[in-house]
Amino acid sequence: MAPATALLITRDDLLLDELLRLAAAAGCALEVAHDPASGLRGWSSACVVVVGADLVESVGEQRPPRRDHVHVVGCGRVPDDVFRGALAVGAADVLELPAAATWLVELLTDAADAADGRQPGRARTLGVVGGSGGVGATTFACALALTAAARERATLVDLDPLGPGVDRVVGLDGAPGVRWDGLLAAPGRLSSRSLRAALPARESLAVLTWGMGAPAEPDAATVREVLSATQRGNDVVVVDLPRALDEVTAEVVGRCDRVLLVAEATIPGVASAGRTAGLLRRLTAGLAVVVRTDRGALPEEQVAVALDLPLAASLSRHRRLAEHVDLGLGPVHGARSPLARAARAALALLPERAA
């Protein structure tokens, strides 16, 4: 049995059908045993053990070794003797379907998220927002994601529906996969593994962006679940944030380890970035500035002081950037390019993977 496989012990066909359905929704592999003896062979190696109410007494008579993550499940109201059997198998609880269906999907989803063998924890998350229009925040977010993906598993999340589309900037606009509109039609708990597999991707980078046409606005609950699943299934998450800080954006900002404000090194650029920084300070303590030095004469240190923010990186002119993007090569073309150097400097500010 694979380490992240859940074990179900039951002879109840109705319960079996229901658990198979819930496991499929969670993206979790389910090993089924129809008798206590065969069930005990996978007892210790399964990440989660689900014992059917019909066999809990028989399983208890086998004196299984004590372990965590054992649950007893029955269809409809279970009789009182099931609770005595649950004590014998060391179960954490007794669940009744269909009332406990949502909770079981969450349980099995978390089991599926451990299937890739990586260390558990939440991905380091970096938000990027422009201090003024046209400053290149989306391009820098894409550079961050591409740079991170060269070493770790990364996902780039596009929360700016009026932006150019991060898939186009990184050269994945023709790649198949789910966009925001597809996720809005599938509410509920998301498996991080299934979500990542459904997104447009190339090698270690996946992207979540908008489809063609008028963008649908995701609600706070959907964005919260998508971000949570993305953080569980990656090492680094980069979020391209809109300048309009609505309720949804505010919640995402609060879930970021760092938020980078991209500012022009001009007096108007600093003035505009200062207003945005004032809003962001209410939402995060991890705010820093990335200065576009090719857009003005002010030194980057002076811009950081004026904004009262730590300097994360500075961006100088990137020759042939538009050409590289138009050709589908992405904004990071060479490890020594200005965007690559700035992205590495900004990523170095991230903390270790959160537990």
Q: Write down the domain spans for the chain.
A: 6-113, 124-347
SS3 of 149, please? helix
Residue 19 has pLDDT above 90, yes or no: yes
Q: Which uninterrupted H or E stretch holds 6? A: strand 6-9
> The domain 124-347: what is its CATH number?
3.40.50.300
Give the model's confidence band at 331: pLDDT under 50 very low, under 70 low, under 90 confident, else very high: confident
- pLDDT at site 200: 95
- pLDDT at site 48: 92
Q: Do 6-113 and 124-347 fold alike per CATH?
A: yes
Tell me the mean pLDDT in the region 301-307. 96
The token duo for 229 is 């699943």
CB-CB neighbours of 149 under 10 Å: 24
Check the CA dihedral 231-233-238-242 and report its sign: negative
Residue 327 has pLDDT above 70, yes or no: no
For the chain, give the mean pLDDT.
87
Give the model's confidence band at 259: pLDDT under 50 very low, under 70 low, under 90 confident, else very high: very high
The token duo for 344 is 């590495």
- pLDDT at site 4: 62
Decide if domain 6-113 falls under CATH 3.40.50.2300.
Answer: yes
User: What b/e sequence results for 262-276 when a residue is b if at least 16 CB atoms lie within 10 Å of its CB, and e otherwise?
Assistant: bbbbbeebbebbbeb
Give the model's confidence band at 328: pLDDT under 50 very low, under 70 low, under 90 confident, else very high: low
- pLDDT at site 37: 92
Look at the block and give the residue holding tokens 């089924």. Answer: 32
Give the model's confidence band at 17: pLDDT under 50 very low, under 70 low, under 90 confident, else very high: very high
Amino acid at 253: V
SS3 of 205, please? strand
pLDDT digits (tens, 9 = 90+) for 67-107: 988 999 999 999 999 999 999 999 999 999 999 998 898 78
Q: Residue 23: left if φ>0, alpha if ψ -120 to 50, beta else—which one?
A: alpha
pTM above 0.85, yes or no: no
The token duo for 327 is 């050709």
Lowest-pLDDT range, 155-159, 168-172, 318-322? Answer: 318-322
